[in-house]
Structure 1
Amino acid sequence: MSSSYTVSFACLECCKSFKRDSELSKGIPNELPCPNCGNVSYNLGRHFKAPKQSDKKQWDKIRFLVSHGFRFQKIRPHRDNNDSVPYPIDLAEAREFVERYKEFSLNIGDAT
């Protein structure tokens, strides 16, 4: 019996998100076609909370983070501590975040 894992996907074109269950034994895809517009939607993990579709500033921040390899994965800079770093609340903080935690960025194909 295989385990199922629910993850959030977000389309950076139409600014919509959706969840999908994936079987862990088959792997979790990094990208899926957006069910709304057909463009690429990105796996942003199970903790991602999408902003309102109309919140362009938040979607700009998300695009920036994804394009720099941050897909809302847990960032734990200290090996002896399980505390995660909170994700930035705006684009200005996102720029600082990307610079500070660049060693934790993911290299997953071309995002945005």
Structure 2
Amino acid sequence: MGFKNVCFDCKKAFNQGTDLNNIGESKCPDCGKLMKQITHRFRPPKQKDKKKWEVAKFLMERGFLYEHVYERIYEVRGITVLANYATYPENMRDAKEFVEKYKSQAETE
């Protein structure tokens, strides 16, 4: 497990590794802009697949950093139960629905 640094301008992702003491902000080696750090669960699209990169950027800008999102969250006797991982969308139409449906699970800064 580890993290990835992603540059949406260059459409590239770089594995950062698992040394949590050395994780920090990184600049893209190609364009020099600050990259977005996300979980290892993110599977970057091919560099030429611009539509999938747009979807990933759209999701991340709205707080979905490829952490687990749950399809159902409910309570049983005061205990919160999380059930079934939701699948991250690959097209913009599904991404908009995903954001609306799971907005309560988005990360806010």
Q: Which has the larger radius of gyration?
A: 2
How far residue 10 of structure 1 moved from its aligned partner, in angstroms, is 1.1
How far residue 22 of structure 1 moved from its aligned partner, in angstroms, is 4.1
Residue 6 of structure 2 corresponds to residue 10 of structure 1: yes
The equivalences for 1:1-112 within 5 A come to 5-24=1-20, 26=21, 28-29=23-24, 31-76=25-70, 77-78=72-73, 79-108=80-109
How far residue 36 of structure 1 moved from its aligned partner, in angstroms, is 2.3
Higher strand share: 2
Amino acid at match of 2:99: V
In structure 1, how many angstroms separate the alpha carbons of the residues matched to 2:6 and 2:104? 24
TM-score (norm 1): 0.79
In structure 2, how many angstroms separate the alpha carbons of the residues matched to 1:32 and 1:84? 30
Amino acid at match of 2:32: G
TM-score (norm 2): 0.81
